[in-house]
Structure 1
């Protein structure tokens, strides 16, 4: 049985190349997250609209991108859309468009859940203060919805960051593309792919820990709110009839 000796010199020499790919990965991830968090708001509002046609269109968009593979969506944007429109879309732009469209669908459902959890009394109070729809959304609904759904949002962003590895299939020079190229040229797949996996882990793991912490804190806060409040000593004394013993 042959043993495999890891070539540490090659591992260290591969770091600069992979870091160049990691920069591209982070750029795609940052653009996707920023665009999705903005675009998901009108999609979530449309999903909750009273007008049936608007609600059906928003729901159709969400279900299409939630129920089809990310790789198919990426290929459709890069190969099929130019054939349909006659406009060539660069790989980087195709990656951002496909990932944003996908993440927006999932983010919109997270937002919708948060919007529906905002107490109606607060929205009615905003109306009494003569805040218009945009102002109520900005000052009352959106801050509470994002705060409540923050663990879900972070989990979606972690999944999207890992999905950026798929953009290597359309020749975008991200971390996975660089790693695959190096592994093919050097026949050092173990070293290169392990190093690439470690880079993904170093970025995603702290966010995962933060997500778990926020989930625990949210559960603790919910348990405190649902727990019955103990009567204070003054209230207990007031509730005890005069002359009664306790």
Structure 2
């Protein structure tokens, strides 16, 4: 596997082949990414080469990171469960794929993958600290199949948030009934389907307010709000200020 020395405290392994011969950080933990559908990652509290090499017949991505470094970034203890798998949110999956599938020449590809590795680790730890990581094994009341369908619903929201999605459409697309989706989604992600959709749309709207000069009303419409009043109300509830004030404060800063 290709080894990228991100820092003395972090090693990224990407590609195929054996892992032996690469320098590991002191007292490491490992994040092992699985690009199935849905994508997940497994946390290893005390990683071992023989365990991590079990899937060496496919292109892979593994982070080996000093526990101390993770806990500095977290600002507290790293309490992910050893051997547990967690669903990888769509935005983090995109970063992981950018590392795995990078086709840039070595001179550009190595620093690119290094930077993306830091970005992905920070996003993972931030999500862990905020309780936003959903375990890939659900409660006894939920089958593994239903859990995967609920994860697929979350990915559909993250990928198709611009469309006019309804609970019924999402449920049909993922092969699950509405009530089971509603209940399971709340248990898994600690929010409702509509709240997740709204959060995704408002996050994109906030980005566009800062990074573009598009009219506020057009940004609202592009992000699923049929009129400026409904967009302003929803944005105000989420960010505590109107879209115009949010943009003005960002520009002033």
Give me the TM-score of the superposition, normalised by structure 2.
Answer: 0.23
| Bigger CA radius of gyration | 1
Higher share in strand? 2
Higher share in helix? 1
Give me the TM-score of the superposition, normalised by structure 1.
Answer: 0.24
Q: Which has the higher contact order (CA 8 A, sep 6+)?
A: 1
